Structure 1
Amino acid sequence: MPGKRDIALGTAAGVTGAALVAWRTLFPYIVDDIKTYGPMIKTTIKIVKGMKNAEYLVDVFERQVAKHPKKIFLIFEDKSYSFEFVNEMANKVANIAMSWNLQLNDIVATVIYNEPAFVWTFLGLQKIGLADAFINYHLTSKPLLHSLKVSEAKVIIVGAGDELLESMLAIHDGLQGTPIYVQGKSQSELPFGFMSMEDMMLRATPVNICKLIRSKVTDTTPMCFIYTSGTTGLPKPAIINQAKGIATSKMYSLFDYNEKDVVYVVTPLYHSAAATNCFFNSIDTGATMVIRKKFSASHFWEDIRKHNVTVIQYIGELLRYVVAVPKSPLDGVHNVRIAYGNGLRPDIWKEFQSRFKIPWIMEMFGATEGTSAIVNTTNKIGAIGRLSPLSNFMIAVGFPTVRLIKYDPIEDAPLRDKNGRCIPIKPGEQGLFISPIPDTHSGFYKGPKQMDEKKILRDVFEKGDFFFSFGDLMFLDTDYYVYFRDRVGDTFRWKGENVSTREVCDVLSTLDFIHDVNVYGVHVAGTEGRAGMAAIALNDKDSDVTSDMLSAVYRKCHHELPAYARPVFLRFQRDFIVTQTMKHRKVELVREGFDPFKITDPLYYIDNKNKTYSSLTTSNAGQLLLSRL
């Protein structure tokens, strides 16, 4: 016979269950909202606390060194580096940089591969209040020279590696005497005009730098510049100030990242994905970071098992290669508790999570220069987050959340009501992704403020407000989940990189037989992002496309554009369609893609084997698709 206590407990359980059913009836999305907004509120509280206490990243790093000096901070090529050792190397960099007589906020550009030197070089510069411009080590020629010059760096540090040195040699004359220090080589191994950072590190002392040297650092002081492609063409340095450093270093709080975690880093550290996510969050928590110089799908799980990795940072394109590796009985043998990243296609998501037994995939969406982000914390396949009616309450109490507004794809601008205000979308609609700009904002990009203005929307919901426009379209489903749909304006993503249509246009337009160029991204089945396609109008509209023209286009792109930015397809048109404001219309072109069954204009595809562009026809289009380009 049950006792009174058992009856009471049973009654209480029944009442609780009934209450939960009632709540779910009245608020059908309450569980997903709790999973979404609970972690967001917790993370925001940590960010606010960090801002209030001015917990700048280098100070947090030094605190971690004091807390557990012998703990492993970095693992690279099977070598382990403790917090204490990394700090000593950073101190050496700081003491060397002190001898350069630079001022607070001066910029040092670094071109360094994925390796521990990237980490301690950045931290050493931070110790004396210098900003680090992270230069893409894949760049050569004009894009590399532009990236270095636009940074206005007073000094350049080049990492170890013959290819990096060769790239710098090729543009040395254009750097106008900027001092260049090279890691990994002695002075006797370097050509004239280059100095050995390696020799200086051997002589430098690892003594700590007095914090007073950086006492004038504030929330708006730049800590680094991470380059992004945009409407101006060549790479632009996005400003990551100290406040943003604090904010991004807390983002892994969403899944309780802590000092026991080990994160696997295979994306470039010059990207925000690896830098602000993996690197900054590992400093904040005292976690361990496994760095691989170059991504390898075949060694991916081998490394993860060897180093007891618990967190994977991904971009969608990366996991597609991992899934393509032959199956193994060890596929599910690992300690990974979460995969965090962006750009994961739903079909790859399902296969990756199921095959490799990943408990939690947290898809996010943001921008290097953006002022906020959205994160899917509920494991909802394909979604980047959710914006339920509860978000309206969060906005009302001052919580900085992203918004979705109606957008006119023809005029490339938000739709506004009769009062000139932007219009929030409803479930089942698509809209432009925007976020509020905080008081700590100190500019999106280094350079003319006109670049910033292109990203700012004013008088959005009320007079005087201003928001950051990501330039991306999102879909809100009837369950209030948000899904990425497409980029608008002048950039698209291919091979894990942002491609600037303006940059490609500027390069192709210099060919003397081309009258006009319209560049856009097109979907290719089975691939991530959008492949570049250039619609070209010739000076002589009645002339035929010749093999010499196609070879010239290929040579031009190969010489002046990174591989990911070179157009995969060409389309030769007699006339372009433009909007009322004389902007190139891309809607119809994107819709038609590169389908030779629909398009009567001459079509061509990049033919790297023959170093030209070859004709794309109904007979070879299928074969190209099967090869996935």
Structure 2
Amino acid sequence: MTTLDSASAVSAAPPPRASSTAGWIGALERTARIDANPERIFPLVLDAVAAERAGAPALIGTDETLTHGDLAARRHRYARWALAEGLAKGDTVALMMRNRPDYLAIWLGLTRIGVRVALLNTNLRERGLAHCIQAAAPRILIAATNLAEAVEGAWPHLASPPELCWQGEGAEASLAAQAARFSGEPLSADEAPAVTLRDPALLIYTSGTTGLPKAARVSHHRIMMWTHWFAGLADPGPDDRMYDCLPLYHSVGGVVAPGSVLLGGGSVVIREKFSASRFWSDVAETGATLFQYIGELCRYLTLAPPDPQERAHSLRLCTGNGLRPEVWERFQERFGIPRILEFYAATEGTLSLYNVEGKVGAVGRVPSFMARRSPALIVKHDVATGLPLRDAEGRCVPTEFGEAGELLGRLSDKAEYTFEGYTSAAESDRKVLRDVLKPGDAWMRTGDLMRRDAQGYYFFVDRIGDTFRWKGENVATTEVAEALGRTEGVMEACVYGVAVPGTDGRAGMAALTVEPGFDLARLHADMAERLPAYARPLFLRLTEELGHTETFKQKKAVLAEEGYDPARTADPLYIDRDGAYRPLDPALYGQIAAGALRL
């Protein structure tokens, strides 16, 4: 193990690199060779990197830093430990640890010998955690000792608990201590079974915002495609450092962000969680040149007080998804970010979109020379059924430019377009749509509404289910939230539909966090200017804090359930009435509930 002090960690950032077709060409070149050798899996690729960059830092944590050589030796020891435990190709091990360098070493070592690793969400408890463990059916659960309480809470809910292996301080025979007995040299051909790109590598769970989390299957081929494609787009080199404070149990934070940089011999700064107050000083001190974001993190930073270090960084590129247009420009201008690379993808998805040109608000673009290769299709959506609209012949109807519809991904036998699905066959079947353009074809439903312009740029509209219907019109919550967010004083907006007695559909309601001096009259005027009447929020709720999941997604379901009933919340409530937002008190609510008030 090697340690670095903050002074030696800082390196000069390379100049910004051009965001042009070079990114597309780099990604295509990086991925074109993947299928040439079916047994060249990601851990073996990193072995080659370690042979050339053994002494260079690879993973920089708060408690330890691993060089590329250290990381290689550690994953080799974990692989040999697994073999000694009798784990075989096809077996599953669950991993539950908070962000740290050792996390990556464990799953890289185990997948090297064909063991599938289920990456458990460290925020889950009791039945939710038990559900995820049962979905994976692991032989062994590797858990950090500082998560013992969570593990113990889930144990009574498991019909067949796995064997437990603890990692960390206080463990009688920790994984690290057991693995230390084995050699850190690369595994020989006769030590490990042959593992191919088509073999399973990971189980990564969906967020569970619409039900219990689903375990998505991730093959070695998908890991290679993710890491090499992003390495081509971002072009990380040996001097690059990725700042990664996203959960390592997710595909972006745990595979894409670190993997793409390790490929180029660079390093990854791993932090347990995001801290707005410490972010810029940490980025500056570590010499980070890349930052992997979720859009909400950028919004938090733009709302934070000025930081003397906020423009003292070496960042050349910030990449991620979910960066709203109203935040994008503020974030880039305030902090002097040379380039933003926004993308769209899903762990289980068969298509991805990339905005290499940096067009504000777009999630991606398919350039003309990529059109034949792209599996993306937008089809008209029926809000009443929640399904794609079919024509008289039973086929889906592609949208016109500028028209919103559901994004689909074409499926085929080609590895990159194969839907690997979930551990649940029923959940997998629900994601596949057949006979879309012709008899027998198959496409994966993304569940996202998109629109595309004539230049090939794709724009996210809403999640299916978040869109609601009011006054005979479809309302996209994301577009309304964006309009609200552009009003001075609005810090965050969460938009959802609520039922109103005696009316069809659902009326719009917005929960807002606002700054001191926020002007309701200004908001009302802005909504009248920016949105059609049917899309303007009928109800408002001003709250100090909007609930978020561990991946910073808004907890709309709770807010929608509480609705606009003053008895359900102490937050101030308002209704759009007589040309202004006016207080909604119990008496007025009673009239609405009785259907006596015309809206």
What TM-score, normalized by structure 1, do the two folds share?
A: 0.72
| Aligned pairs (5 A) from 1:115-514 | 115-161=100-146, 164-175=147-158, 176-188=160-172, 196-229=174-207, 233-252=211-230, 253-387=232-366, 390=368, 394-396=370-372, 399-439=373-413, 440=415, 443-489=419-465
Q: Distance in 2 between matches of 1:536 and 1:203?
A: 66
Q: Which residue of 1 aligns with 2:558?
A: 568
1:174 partner letter:
H
Q: Distance in 1 between matches of 2:327 and 2:56?
A: 36
Q: Distance in 1 between matches of 2:224 and 2:94?
A: 22
Q: Distance in 2 between matches of 1:449 and 1:457?
A: 15
Q: Which residue of 1 aligns with 2:28?
A: 44
Task: Point out the more displaced range, 166-175 or 121-130.
Answer: 166-175
Deviation at residue 210 of structure 1 after TM alignment: 2.4
Deviation at residue 133 of structure 1 after TM alignment: 0.5
Structure 1 residues 480 and 86: alpha-carbon distance in aligned structure 2, compared to 1, 3 A threshold:
closer
Deviation at residue 433 of structure 1 after TM alignment: 1.1
Does the 8 Å contact 1:316/1:528 carry over to 2? no
Structure 1 residues 169 and 352: alpha-carbon distance in aligned structure 2, compared to 1, 3 A threshold:
same
Deviation at residue 448 of structure 1 after TM alignment: 3.1
Identity value in percent:
30
Q: Distance in 2 between matches of 1:173 and 1:210?
A: 41
**Residue 33 of structure 2 aligns to a residue in which SS?**
helix
Does the 8 Å contact 1:94/1:125 carry over to 2? yes
Q: Which residue of 2 aligns with 1:58?
A: 43
Q: Can you list the C-alpha shifts for 1:16-35, whole angstroms capped at 9, x where unaligned?
A: xxxxxxxxxxxxxxxxxx96
1:433 partner letter:
L
**Residue 93 of structure 2 aligns to a residue in which SS?**
strand
RMSD between superposed Cα atoms in Å: 3.3
Q: Distance in 1 between matches of 2:86 and 2:62?
A: 35
**Residue 49 of structure 2 aligns to a residue in which SS?**
helix
Structure 1 residues 187 and 74: alpha-carbon distance in aligned structure 2, compared to 1, 3 A threshold:
closer
Q: Distance in 2 between matches of 1:278 and 1:125?
A: 20
**Residue 434 of structure 1 aligns to a residue in which SS?**
strand
Q: Distance in 2 between matches of 1:166 and 1:112?
A: 13
Structure 1 residues 570 and 126: alpha-carbon distance in aligned structure 2, compared to 1, 3 A threshold:
closer
Deviation at residue 236 of structure 1 after TM alignment: 0.8
Structure 1 residues 531 and 347: alpha-carbon distance in aligned structure 2, compared to 1, 3 A threshold:
closer
Unaligned runs of 5+ in 1: 1-33, 189-194, 493-519, 538-556, 573-593, 597-601, 606-612, 625-629
Structure 1 residues 416 and 274: alpha-carbon distance in aligned structure 2, compared to 1, 3 A threshold:
same
Q: Distance in 2 between matches of 1:103 and 1:324?
A: 50
Q: Distance in 2 between matches of 1:151 and 1:527?
A: 39
Structure 1 residues 216 and 427: alpha-carbon distance in aligned structure 2, compared to 1, 3 A threshold:
same
**Residue 42 of structure 1 aligns to a residue in which SS?**
helix
**Residue 446 of structure 1 aligns to a residue in which SS?**
coil
Structure whose CA Rg is larger = 1
Task: Point out the more displaced range, 376-385 or 452-461.
Answer: 452-461
Structure 1 residues 484 and 490: alpha-carbon distance in aligned structure 2, compared to 1, 3 A threshold:
closer
Q: Which residue of 1 aligns with 2:520?
A: none
Does the 8 Å contact 2:90/2:200 carry over to 1? yes
Structure 1 residues 96 and 529: alpha-carbon distance in aligned structure 2, compared to 1, 3 A threshold:
farther
Structure 1 residues 451 and 567: alpha-carbon distance in aligned structure 2, compared to 1, 3 A threshold:
closer
Q: Distance in 2 between matches of 1:294 and 1:362?
A: 22
Does the 8 Å contact 1:569/1:603 carry over to 2? no
1:617 aligned onto 2:573: yes
Does the 8 Å contact 1:533/1:567 carry over to 2? no
What TM-score, normalized by structure 2, do the two folds share?
A: 0.75
Q: Can you list the C-alpha shifts for 1:103-153, whole angstroms capped at 9, x where unaligned?
A: 202110000100011011111102221111000001111110111111111
Q: Which residue of 2 aligns with 1:81?
A: 66
Deviation at residue 430 of structure 1 after TM alignment: 0.9
Q: Can you list the C-alpha shifts for 1:170-229, whole angstroms capped at 9, x where unaligned?
A: 2223343411111113445xxxxxx63244244444343224454432222111111004
Deviation at residue 421 of structure 1 after TM alignment: 2.6
**Residue 75 of structure 2 aligns to a residue in which SS?**
helix
Does the 8 Å contact 2:242/2:289 carry over to 1? yes
Q: Distance in 2 between matches of 1:147 and 1:401?
A: 31
Task: Point out the more displaced range, 480-489 or 364-373.
Answer: 480-489
1:101 aligned onto 2:86: yes
1:312 partner letter:
F
Deviation at residue 534 of structure 1 after TM alignment: 8.3
**Residue 267 of structure 1 aligns to a residue in which SS?**
coil
Q: Distance in 2 between matches of 1:234 and 1:47?
A: 34
Q: Which residue of 2 aligns with 1:511?
A: none
Q: Distance in 2 between matches of 1:304 and 1:424?
A: 44
Match 1:111 to one of 96, 104, 124:
96
**Residue 217 of structure 1 aligns to a residue in which SS?**
coil
**Residue 282 of structure 2 aligns to a residue in which SS?**
helix
Q: Distance in 2 between matches of 1:318 and 1:376?
A: 19
**Residue 148 of structure 2 aligns to a residue in which SS?**
helix
2:34 partner letter:
G
Q: Distance in 2 between matches of 1:482 and 1:213?
A: 48
Deviation at residue 330 of structure 1 after TM alignment: 3.6
Q: Distance in 1 between matches of 2:407 and 2:374?
A: 14
Deviation at residue 352 of structure 1 after TM alignment: 0.9
Q: Can you list the C-alpha shifts for 1:291-341, whole angstroms capped at 9, x where unaligned?
A: 011211111111111111111100011111112222244422221111100
